[in-house]
Amino acid sequence: MIRITRKVEFSAAHFYHNPDLSAEENKRVFGKCNNPHGHGHNYVLEVTIAGEPDPATGMVLDLKELKDILQREVVDRMDHRHLNYEVPELAGQIPTCENIATVIWKLLQPRIRRGKLDRVRLYESPDLFADCTAGSANGAGARP
């Protein structure tokens, strides 16, 4: 099996606020991320596809096709957007790195027709990233 990875970047605004919590609780839990004016990041997304290279083309999945999928599903949706207000898939969720990565996983999975979506890694900054990998949602590990 071979893994191939494509990287794209997008820039977006967000802030963390849970309407079920009081103003004080929001401030305490989310700190400066709770600023209602929002703030932003240059997100870096790495998407890994695993599979066997097609004997005819030598490719697991044409990277051009993957590039187009990432452009359509992620960049067009999220680049230069406010994640709290402009991405319906995130509605009702706090747009944390964990939640954005999970939404991206769910957007991409049905679009990958060759190979298998292996990992979605989303960097919010060079020092913070979330990984989504095939497996159970509770972190118990990969499915048998």
Closer residue to another protein in complex, CB, 55/141? 141
Summarize as ranges the residues that interact with another protein (CB under 8 A). Answer: 16, 18, 20-21, 29-31, 93-99, 101-102, 105-106, 109-110, 120, 126-143
Residue 116 beta carbon to another protein: minimum distance, rounded to whole angstroms:
11
Has 124 been annotated as catalytic? yes
Of 85, 63, 66, 64, which is closest to residue 74 (Cα–Cα)?
A: 66
Has 33 been annotated as catalytic? yes
Residue 121 beta carbon to another protein: minimum distance, rounded to whole angstroms:
9
Residue 110 beta carbon to another protein: minimum distance, rounded to whole angstroms:
7
- Characterize 117-135 residue by residue with b for buried, 16 or more Cβ atoms within 10 angstroms of its Cβ, and e for exposed: bbbbbbbbeeeebbebeee
- CA dist 51 and 72 (Å) reads 22
Among 82, 89, 124, 132, which one carries the catalytic annotation? Answer: 124
Cα 65 from chain centre: 18
Residue 93 beta carbon to another protein: minimum distance, rounded to whole angstroms:
6
Closer residue to another protein in complex, CB, 53/89? 89
- CA dist 107 and 81 (Å) reads 17
Has 80 been annotated as catalytic? yes
Helix (H) / strand (E) element for 86: namely helix 83-86
Closer residue to another protein in complex, CB, 44/59? 44
Cα 1 from chain centre: 24
Closer residue to another protein in complex, CB, 88/136? 136
Catalytically annotated residues = 33, 80, 124
